[in-house]
Structure 1
Amino acid sequence: MKIALKNKDKKLQEKDIGTFSALKIKVNRNPAKGFKNNVKYLNIILGIDIVVPEGYGIELISSSIALSNKGKIEYSCPKACKDIEARTGYRRDRHNPNKLEPVFGYKAVIMTSVEVELNL
């Protein structure tokens, strides 16, 4: 993919695109409660009729595909960071003030004790 990005004149080919699993399912011999909802969800998402044999069930492990309230299919990339404004910052270590520790978050709340400075 890096090669395709460097050569902007060339079109991105399918072999250059990274892949990830959008849907993980598991077939169980002992169906759990609510497995019929998973079958309905898969019927809508995949657009095919899924027939589950009696005594079996489908467990939905993970999915990056969701249905909105209006019935539209929404998709999210599981490897992309959803908080694009988040930054890594640093603060003083609580146990050793001479060291810095990394803090992830755009606005980290840092508690500082002022009692010592004010002689309280």
Structure 2
Amino acid sequence: MIKKKQQDVLGFLEANKIGFEEKDIAANEENRKWMRENVPENNRPATGYPLPPQIFNESQYRGDYDAFFEARENNAVYAFLGLTAPPGSKERHTERGRDTSRRRSRLPAGSLMRYLILRPRDHALS
């Protein structure tokens, strides 16, 4: 299930030419520690650690797969990612007439995203 969610997010980013950096938390303790420390307390599970994919715009936490999926269903992925929607996109049309500056990066679409991803050999995180 984790791999499918990761592929879903990666596929969207690649199809929309949104730059990102993949971080492997299975093989790199520093990446795993960074992710665990930077997922806000109120977004962590009651027990255990947050599971990937966890999405960041630079060091700003944007959300997990469920938040990404909901944003995609509502044509609000660029807002979720903290990016300005490109001209002509469905999301851009829904932004007209509203304040779209809240918690958004000034980076244009295509800017670097930090994306933490696990490529598990098994699903155990220890």
TM-score bracket, shorter-length normalisation = under 0.3
TM-score normalized by structure 1? 0.24
Higher share in helix = 2
Question: Computing the radius of gyration over CA atoms, which structure comes out larger, 1 or 2?
Answer: 1
TM-score normalized by structure 2? 0.23
Higher relative contact order (CA 8 A, sep 6+): 2
Higher share in strand = 1
